[in-house]
Amino acid sequence: MITFQKTLRNSIGCTGVGVHSGNVVNMTLKPAAADTGIVFRRLDVASDVSDVLAHYNTVSELVMCTTIANEAGVKVATIEHLMAAFSGSGIDNAIVELDGPEVPVMDGSAAPFIFLIECADTVEQSSPRKYIKVLKEVEVRDGNAAAILSPGDNVSVAFEIAFDNKRIGHQNCSFNMRNGTFKNELSRARTFGFLSELEQLKSMGLAKGGSLDNAIVLSGEDVLNEEGLRYQDEFVRHKALDAVGDLYLAGAQIIGQFHGYKSGHALNNKLLHAFLSDADAWCYTLEAPVRASNVGGAYWPEQQAAAPITA
């Protein structure tokens, strides 16, 4: 089945804090013409160097977040949650205007961005939507961490994490990304961190805007957030959310199966480079992915966890 590209029907704005810079940022999501892609536009720099295309080849830094940059060195940081929301909402084309160098973190999840997109509404465009179909398995590793793309008829994301911290421990999840799955199963999962690491991160110029309002914070095995967790396995769901955003930097939705084991932004980006540089591993297609018959995202509880990837 042929589907068509989508953009926003209306513009919509918000204000928030950059989690790493600590600065207040104003952001506006705007419609864009077909085949534009997702373009970030810095309003605080000269107009001739203000645009940065969201693409795996424009990724410049991968420490604690995904940062993109153009040839003039203009950067936009922490794009992954917004990119995940665009992916989950099926938005192909948009202009993201910012008056600073970082996307606002909002509550640390993608849910506020889903809300903005729904308020702005979406509109179908005249150009067909192009997909990237996985033809053979591609895997990258870093120590015992791994990221894999393999053939499949759906857009699916599986993730596994393993922490020494007993509050997190070993968790895994798997979702077919059909209509509503991202919003219902992943979008509300927040980023997380450890109180013991906060001062070190701040000394590195990171997490200056981090707080209990925009992240799950653990002190030892205790969750400091008054509301507690939104999902029992919120930690792994957020890592899957990050992967959805990072994979959307391929420039199109990937039809196939992603499996991350202890993966992060750097390994996700390394996977895209390895995958898209192998001409035998993928092809473009106008055929939309097959929709699975069951409703809602599949979830592996710990007692039924898939076997972890081992070194």
End-to-end CA distance of the chain: 40
265: annotated active-site residue: yes
Q: Report phi then psi at 239, rounded to 5.
A: -65, -35
Q: Tell me the β-bridge partners of 287.
A: 2
Torsion from C-alpha of 20, 273, 69, 160, nearest 10 degrees: -10
Specify the 3-state DSSP secondary structure of 182: helix
Q: Which of 20, 238, 259, 265 is catalytic?
A: 265
Q: Measured between alpha carbons, how far is 244 from 266 in angstroms, rounded to an integer?
A: 14
Using an 8 Å Cβ cutoff, are 152 and 306 in contact? Answer: no
Q: Tell me the β-bridge partners of 12.
A: 29
The candidate with the shortest Cα–Cα distance to 95, out of 42, 160, 148, 162, is: 42
Q: Measured between alpha carbons, how far is 252 from 218 in angstroms, rounded to an integer?
A: 35
Using an 8 Å Cβ cutoff, are 130 and 6 in contact? Answer: no
Tokens of 265: 């932004």
Annotated catalytic residues are 265
